[in-house]
């Protein structure tokens, strides 16, 4: 299983700077900070290029 660097996929902050939340997607582990979790929920188009198939996510 591939594991990405342990930093927020959006702002790239690491666990020394901010709490990170791990999530799994397509057999891969990613990390995101609490500040950017709403992006996944409300504005997933920002994840294009960061997560595979992010353009298929539906904003809530
Ligand atoms: Zn972040």
30-40: per-residue pLDDT in tens?
999 999 999 99
Q: Please tell me the distance between residue 3's alpha carbon and the centre of ligand 1 in angstroms.
A: 17
Alpha helices in the chain (DSSP H): 37-42
Regions in the chain scoring below 50 on pLDDT: 1
Which pLDDT score, from 0 to 100, does residue 3 have? 57
Helix (H) or strand (E) holding 41: helix 37-42
Q: What's the rounded Cα separation, in Å, for the pair 35 and 12? A: 12
pLDDT of residue 29: 94
| 37: number of Cβ within 10 Å | 14
CA-CA-CA-CA torsion sign (25, 10, 20, 38): negative
- Domain spans, the chain: 1-60
Residues with CB under 5 A from ligand 1 (ion): 8, 10-11, 33, 36
């Amino acid at each position: 299983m591939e594991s990405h660097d342990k930093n927020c996929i959006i702002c790239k902050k690491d666990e020394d700077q901010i709490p990170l939340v791990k999530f799994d997607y397509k057999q891969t582990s990613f990390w995101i900070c609490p500040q950017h979790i709403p992006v996944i929920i409300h504005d997933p188009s920002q994840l294009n290029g960061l997560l595979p198939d992010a353009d298929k996510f539906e904003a809530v």
